[in-house]
Chains A and B, each alone.
Chain A
Amino acid sequence: EAQVTQNPRYLITVTGKKLTVTCSQNMNHEYMSWYRQDPGLGLRQIYYSMNVEVTDKGDVPEGYKVSRKEKRNFPLILESPSPNQTSLYFCASSWIRVHNSPLHFGNGTRLTVT
């Protein structure tokens, strides 16, 4: 089954404790992206990757890192999480021409930073 898998689904952590949210897709998509979703703000893009070893900042990249060493994986790293990074995070993937193919989303990771 074609899917985007995020782990974990839920994560509670404390300020400053490094964490990684994993994302993996099995559709051989070139494009992958991370979003955060907050009430009233919709989905805001954190980072995206057009292909292996190519990453770019989205609209809200501060406090986040990503890497794209393999086509299927696109982990999101929070080196020193803060409470304002409490949010619902989504990973998504698609073929390279975004507007000609759908974004496939994972089921989300709900992160709470205390």
Chain B
Amino acid sequence: TQLLEQSPQFLSIQEGENLTVYCNSSSVFSSLQWYRQEPGEGPVLLVTVVTGGEVKKLKRLTFQFGDARKDSSLHITAAQPGDTGLYLCAGEGGSSNTGKLIFGQGTTLQVKP
């Protein structure tokens, strides 16, 4: 069974600080997605990474896919209270287009003003 381990599970920081969330696995994924979820809502896609070593930027968020496609990271620069939420990584298991998407446990981020 493929697993995705996210760390840390909880993070409480002050506005303006930087942070990194990790998503690790012993398995290779054909692609990896990052979602953000706010209370009372479903997750919303932030980014998809497909190529090993790929780096994508979304304003103050930087996403990286490991060279071996087994891990990914999300780095937030100068966090804002609006970044508060649950961050989830999700990998498409095995060969592509299988339909099975595996989620990590999530990282709850609280950014205090």
Contact = CB atoms under 8 A, between A and B. Distances in A.
A58 B100 contact: yes
B105 A107 contact: no
Chain B interface size, under 10 / 10 to 19 / 20 to 34 / 35 or more: 20 to 34
B7 interface: no
A104 B100 CA distance: 15
A105 B43 contact: yes
Contacts, number: 74
A99 B33 contact: yes
A43 B100 CA distance: 12
Contacts of B96: 97, 99
A105 B99 contact: no
Interface of A: 4, 31, 33, 35, 40-45, 48, 50, 56, 58-59, 90, 92, 96-100, 102-103, 105-108
Interface of B: 1, 6, 9, 30-31, 33, 35, 40-45, 48, 50, 88, 90, 92, 96-97, 99-106
